[in-house]
Amino acid sequence: MSPGDELLFLALGGAGEIGMNCNLYGCRGKWIMLDLGMTFNDPSAPGVDLILPDLAFIEERRQDLLGVVLTHGHEDHIGAVPYLAADLGVPLWATPFTAGLVRRKLAEEGVAADVPLNVVPLGGELELGPFRCRFVSLAHSIPEGNAVVIDTPHGRIFHTGDWKLDDRPIIGDPATAAELSAIGANGGRGTLALVGDSTNVFNAEASGSEADARAGLMQVVAARTRGRVVVTTFASNVARLATLGEIARACGRRLAVAGRSLERMIEVARQTGYLHDFPDPLPLELAANARPETLLIVSTGTQGEPQAALARMADGTHPFIRLERGDLVVYSSRSIPGNEVAIGRVQNQLAALGVDLVTERQAHVHVSGHPGRPELQTMYGWIRPKVAVPVHGERRHMEEHARLARLCQVPHALVAPNGTVVRLGPGEPEIVGHVPAGRLALDGDVILPVEGRTMAARRKLAHGGLMVVTIARSPAGRLAGAPAVVAQGVPVEQEEEAFLAECRSAAAKAVEAAGFADERRLIDEVKVAVRRVARSWTGRKPPTEVAIIAL
């Protein structure tokens, strides 16, 4: 599929899910990509941490891809760049803070020389073939959140990225109502489409200002006169870090930072003009021996990540910080769907230590970086698009966002999950096709399909265990000794030896019956015999492999 004299939109990630955002716009034979993100794993890929979008569609057309424009620096928008951008062979474009994060990622992966990275000033513009793109600053939970205005021969697109409305931002200078209204007016031509964030569409209230979170955190920390205070927050929320630096200073506590991602974020923020007044953190080895009531520790681990600093404090394995009764842990964050069990595990460990907990349910210590319904309605009033295309959400979010857009008098609202090709113009917008839009697993240093043979085998092993039968064949073509049987993950713990003995006997009988003349038939017969034994013992038929060794 190659775009003709038309304007196409296609999401390869982030439409029908939270995370892994990757969007394509096509016009006059050329494509541009907005964002190249990742998401965290779910049970579909055992043993894997990161999931990446499958870019096969655009990789087959890479000669027509003009570049990748990055809206901001969150992992779900840039996390796949170090693994996939080099294969695309096109330049990246980003504002300074985002570029600083990407530059580090490319260097760590050893591909910095292979991926051209262009820094665009805040509010800057670039032209890529038939697309003229302009960055528009919007408030978000990371510096330099941007919408992108894309002017094309068929009309103007307002691609929101992640955003919220904040009339009292701690960091940044988001576009004003007048500026956004002017974008919508487009010199009297109007806006063709808004492609926008659906994350908080079910929230009846606006997300609130970062200044409100600052006031809530100040109140909680100032009221604490004993013990350590640990605040865990998203490392990318530089405004929240600035707040915690000020709170530490105001409350007479020394600030310490626990977590590599926080350290990297602080370094990049300072290099790009942010956090000038942030106090120099107290080294953790000194914090280990400091009086508890003198410390405010900022920590990674909001989502219960087992190797994050907070989880290690909770289970007693952190090399420097030992939490104890009377300490306070504040979750200045929200729970990302799917992480509730991991977060609960860490919080239970903290409670067992006698540590007090405060979350956003107990105090106003967090505000979201995404727009609630009132903010979405306000933005639609400013931009006034003819078409709404919800993204950045699961299917239920996108459908609700489409309903809301229609309530805001948007003439057309199209729900287009990953792989759905939408023609935005000319003429009436419509879905014109579908392309493959799969998921890739980053497994160590290897990238492979989530729906491929490797992950399918792992899912089988995870659910049923594994049995391996080894058969020795003598030079005379007969069974040389009893077969060896190994069972892993098969529920026979109390009587394993008796179970294995019966499996060996069943395998030997199958060999004697089938013989070695047809090895394929022999293997099948042994599998059936051993799995029949497993079924009689456990009610399950675990995956079984058979190996024949010639002596």
Give 356-393 as a 3 state SS string: EEECCCCCCCCCCCCCCHHHHHHHHHHHCEEEEEEECE
Question: Closest Cα partner for 252 from 229, 277, 284?
Answer: 229
- Is the model's pLDDT at 41 over the cut of 80? no
Q: Is 261 helix (H, G, I), strand (E, B) or coil?
A: helix
Residue 397's pLDDT band (cuts 50, 70, 90): very high
User: What backbone torsions phi and psi does residue 145 show, to the nearest 5 degrees?
Assistant: -70, 135
What pLDDT score does 108 carry? 93
Pairing status of strand 92-94 against strand 117-119: parallel
Topology of the domain covering 465-550? Ubiquitin-like (UB roll) (3.10.20)
The contacts of residue 395 (CB under 8 Å, 6+ apart) are 16, 415, 417
> What CA–CA distance (Å, rounded) separates 120 from 492?
62
Average pLDDT over residues 359-387: 97
Q: How far apart are CA 7 and CA 28, in angstroms?
A: 8
pLDDT digits (tens, 9 = 90+) for 131-165: 999 999 999 999 999 999 999 999 999 999 999 99
Q: Are 160 and 195 in contact (CB under 8 A)?
A: yes
Cα 491 to the center of its chain, rounded Å? 35
Residue 168 has a pLDDT of: 94
Confidence of residue 218 (pLDDT cuts 50, 70, 90): very high
For residue 141, the model assigns a pLDDT of: 95
pLDDT at 160: 98
Q: Are 247 and 298 within 8 A, CB to CB?
A: no
Q: Which helix (H) or strand (E) holds 15?
A: strand 15-16
398 vs 474, residue with greater confidence: 398
Peptide bond into 426 cis (omega under 30): yes
Q: What's the whole-number mean pLDDT along residues 102-113? A: 95
pLDDT at 241: 97
Ramachandran quadrant class, 32 (left: phi over 0; alpha: psi -120 to 50; beta: rest): beta
Q: pLDDT-derived band of residue 324, with 50, 70 and 90 as boundaries?
A: very high
For residues 231, 232, 234 and 239, what is the CA-based torsion angle, rounded to 10 degrees?
A: 0
Report the half-sphere exposure of 145 (CA within 13 A, side-chain side): 28
- For 255, the enclosing helix (H) or strand (E) is strand 254-258
Q: Are 255 and 244 in contact (CB under 8 A)?
A: yes
Q: Band the pLDDT of 366: cuts 50, 70, 90.
A: very high
The helix (run of H) or strand (run of E) holding residue 87 is: helix 81-88
pLDDT of residue 457: 85
pLDDT digits (tens, 9 = 90+) for 526-542: 999 999 999 999 998 99
Q: Report, as an integer, the average pLDDT of 435-464.
A: 88
pLDDT at 476: 85
Q: Is pLDDT larger for residue 313 or for residue 540?
A: 313
**How much is the CA Rg of the chain, to the nearest whole Å?**
28
pLDDT, tens digit, for every residue of 45-101? 878 888 999 999 999 999 999 999 999 999 999 999 999 999 999 999 999 999 999
SS3 at position 546: strand
Among 414, 385, 421, smallest CA distance to 25 is for 421
pLDDT (average), residues 18-47: 92
Cis amide leading into 46 (omega within 30): no
Lowest mean pLDDT among 116-125, 189-198, 510-519: 510-519
**Per-residue model confidence (pLDDT) at position 462:** 83
Closest CA to 492 of 545, 546, 534, 541: 534
- Domain boundary assignment for the chain: 7-205+368-449, 210-358, 465-550
- At residue 297, the pLDDT reads 98
Which amino acid is present at 93? W
Q: How far apart are CA 538 and CA 330, in angstroms?
A: 46
pLDDT in tens, 236-292: 999 999 999 999 999 999 999 999 999 999 999 999 999 989 999 999 999 999 999
User: Which pLDDT score is estimated for 221?
Assistant: 97
d(CA 50, CA 97) in angstroms, rounded, equals: 23
Contact 244, 345 (CB under 8 A): no
Kindly indicate the confidence band of residue 181, based on its pLDDT and cuts at 50, 70 and 90: very high
Q: Which fold has domain 7-205+368-449?
A: Metallo-beta-lactamase; Chain A (3.60.15)
User: pLDDT of 480-500, one tens digit each?
Assistant: 889 999 999 999 988 999 999
Range 232-261 burial, b when 16+ CB lie within 10 A, else e: bbbbbbbbbbbbbbbbbeebebbbbbbbeb
pLDDT tens-digit profile of 408-436?
999 999 999 999 999 999 999 999 999 99
State the Cα–Cα distance between residues 191 and 183, nearest whole angstrom.
Answer: 8
By three-state DSSP, how is residue 352 classified?
Answer: helix
* CB-count burial class (<10 Å; 0-12, 13-18, 19+) for 102: buried
State the chain's mean pLDDT as an integer: 95
Distances (CA, A) of 136 to 38, 145, 172, 450, 496: 23, 8, 12, 35, 65
Paired tokens of 79: 């996390």
For residue 330, the SS3 value is strand
Query: Is pLDDT at 187 greater than 90 in this prediction?
Result: yes
Higher-pLDDT residue of 47 and 8 is: 8
Instruction: Decide if pLDDT at 299 tops 80.
Output: yes
Listed in sequence order, the residues at least 6 apart from 476 whose beta carbon sits closer than 8 Å to its beta carbon are: none
The predicted structure's pLDDT at residue 456 = 87
Parallel, antiparallel or unpaired: strands 356-358 and 328-332: parallel
Which of 25-39, 85-99, 433-447 is predicted least confidently?
433-447
- The rounded percent of the chain whose pLDDT value lies above 70 is 100
Displacement of CA 360 from its chain's centroid (Å): 22
- How many alpha carbons lie under 13 Å from residue 447 in its C-beta half-sphere? 16
Specify the CATH class of 210-358 in words.
Answer: alpha beta
